[in-house]
Amino acid sequence: MLRNCLLALIPAFGLSGLAQAEDISTHVLNISTGTGGAGIPVTLEMKEGDTWTEIGTSTTGENGRVEGFDIETEVATYRLAFDLSNYADLGQTPFFPEIDVIFQVQDADREHHVPVLVSPFGYSTYLGN
């Protein structure tokens, strides 16, 4: 929230030409129903050496989206962890109760939207926009 307030001040001070690091966003789409996966806990971690550090958590909204984690993206390796263990739309016991998506950010000034498409017995992911 503070980041958004500060970004709103940029035009007022004539700083709009400065590069801004983008946040990371995601969404879960249930391809067996064609709907967003609501209520799914998502954790964002950044790798530092051999250690993963939690830098944000959220829960997907009614449309299955997490608009961001209120971070400024750095050039680094990240992991999004999706906890599907209680997501009833995939069945009583999901075959993949947790999905970890590991990706590298090489350009912190571009948007990184990392969706996950899920079904009862599989998932897919990609770099979206």
Q: For 49-60, what is each residue's pLDDT tens digit?
A: 999 999 999 999
User: Predicted confidence band at 3 (pLDDT cuts at 50, 70, 90)?
Assistant: very low
Asked if pLDDT for residue 124 goes beyond 50, the answer is yes
What is the average per-residue pLDDT within 5-17? 43
What is the pLDDT at residue 129? 84
Torsion angle (degrees, nearest 10) of CA 72, 77, 78, 79: 180
The angle subtended at Cα 57 by Cα 26 and Cα 63, nearest 5°, is 40
Residue 27 C-beta-side C-alpha neighbours within 13 Å: 15
Q: What is the pLDDT of residue 21?
A: 59
**Candidates 3.40.190.10, 2.60.40.180, 3.40.190.150, 3.40.50.880; correct CATH number of 22-125?**
2.60.40.180
For residue 20, pLDDT over 50 is answered with: no
Averaged over 68-88, what is the pLDDT?
Answer: 95
